[in-house]
Structure formats: C-alpha cells, structure tokens
Copies of this chain bind each other. A is one copy, B any other.
Amino acid sequence: MPRKKKKSPDAVPLAVIKRLPLYHRYLTMLAQNDVERISSRELAAKMGITASQLRQDLSWFGSFGQQGYGYRVKDLLGEVSKILGLDRQFQMIILGAGNLARALVSYPNFRRRGFYVEAIFDSNPDLIGKQVNGVTIKDVKYLSEYLQQHTVDIGIITAPASVAQKLADTLVAGGVKAIWNFAPIHLKVPRDVVVENVQIGESLLTLSFRLQQQERRKS
C-alpha cells in the first residue's frame, strides 16, 4: 500500500470512532490466539465490514499494513491501542455508589487497559467511608475539594438524573474534561468537555419497540 498522508484526526467521523473499539477487541483476540498476521479482507470479514471500509477507517490515522502481506497483528494492535489512548493511564472517579458503580469498579478489563477508579462519591451517610473493591466511598460534599487536589481525567456519573446536572457542573468547574454519563438526562457542558452517554433504559425501550415490530410483522 502506498504511504498516504494522515488526514486531520479532528475530522474523524463518529462511525469510524465507534468502530475503533471493535478493531481493538478483534485484534486483541487474534493476538491472544497467537495469530501473527491477517489480511484486511479477513479482519474486515470478522467485523462484518468490507476490506475497503477497513482500509479507509485506518487511513484516518496513518498507513498500516503492506499490500499482499496484510497487517502484523501485534503492530496494528499497538497502533490502535495508541489511537484509543490505551498507552497511558486515566484517573477516574464515580459519582453515585449504587449497584452500577459496584459493577464498574469490579470490571477487570478497565484496570488492565489503564482506567483506574480512584474514588467513589455519594451523599448517603450509610455508605460514606465504606469500600467497594478497595475503593473508598467519600462524601460528595468534598467533591470540589478533591478535584482541586487530584487530577481526574474522567468523571463517571451513575447518580440519579435529578442530581446529574449539578454533579456535571461540579466536575466541569473542577477541570474534568470527560464525563461518562449513565444518568438518563442530556447533560449541558462547555464545548471543550467530552460526554459519552450510556442510556440503559433507552436501550431497553428500543429493544421492546423492535420486538413489538417483529411480532406485528408475523401476525
């Protein structure tokens, strides 16, 4: 493949961004199975896209692989990891100490990939001071103070919708530039703050709608 100039990473389309974690997942599996090299055709087939789509996606970030040889799995995995920011550490805090926080803190893949939960905050006096998987639950009234003293890359909001905006405001005021939001509301943040939403309730409603459609189609 001829060397091409990298396109501006600012303009990477959302669809490409959303596929990057998939590349990472499949390349990790291949590396774990000691596969040394793979053609763009084979890798694309695994992901349910075309080889030309795959080459186009990767061309946003540079030139990888060689015509007639394909990709070295380990090298490409390393590049994709770097693109995703997995060659560094992210300090995270969780706001809201419910079951979802427990699930996130216990997720083994996060720590392995460099995502560290440093603290959990809650307002419930029964929870403050307790530990979840080695992480202490702190009083949310000290959140601003904590943000002054610690670098926090990602704030995770698992608290109820009613307090989510207020928590987001506190994170933003404390200099946090990325929010992972599980509360079912649209957060208002400045343009330089990145928000990624996981809308669990809405995903279930999408499923129930599609199930209904499927049943109607049959009847």
Contacts and interface: CB of A to CB of B under 8 A. Distances in A.
Interface string A184-219: 101000001010101111111111111111111110
A40 B193 CA distance: 30
A194 B217 contact: no
A112 to B, nearest CB: 11
Interface in A42-100: 48, 83-86, 90, 98-100
Nearest to A216: B9
Interface in A2-45: 9-10, 12, 17-18, 20-22, 24-25
A171 to B, nearest CB: 13
A153 B211 contact: yes
A146 interface: no
A95 to B, nearest CB: 15
Count of chain copies: 2
Given A203-B198, A204-B110, A204-B115, A178 B210 contact: yes
Nearest to A82: B212
Contacts of A18: 202, 206
A195 B21 CA distance: 19
B22 A212 contact: no
Contacts of A210: 17, 178, 194, 196
Contacts of A206: 17-18, 20-21, 196
A116 interface: no
Given A103-B103, A206-B21, A194 B211 contact: yes
A205 B24 contact: yes
A85 B204 contact: no
A107 interface: yes
A168 interface: no
A120 B18 CA distance: 31
Interface of A: 9-10, 12, 17-18, 20-22, 24-25, 48, 83-86, 90, 98-100, 102-104, 106-107, 109-110, 113, 115, 153-154, 177-178, 180, 184, 186, 192, 194, 196, 198-218
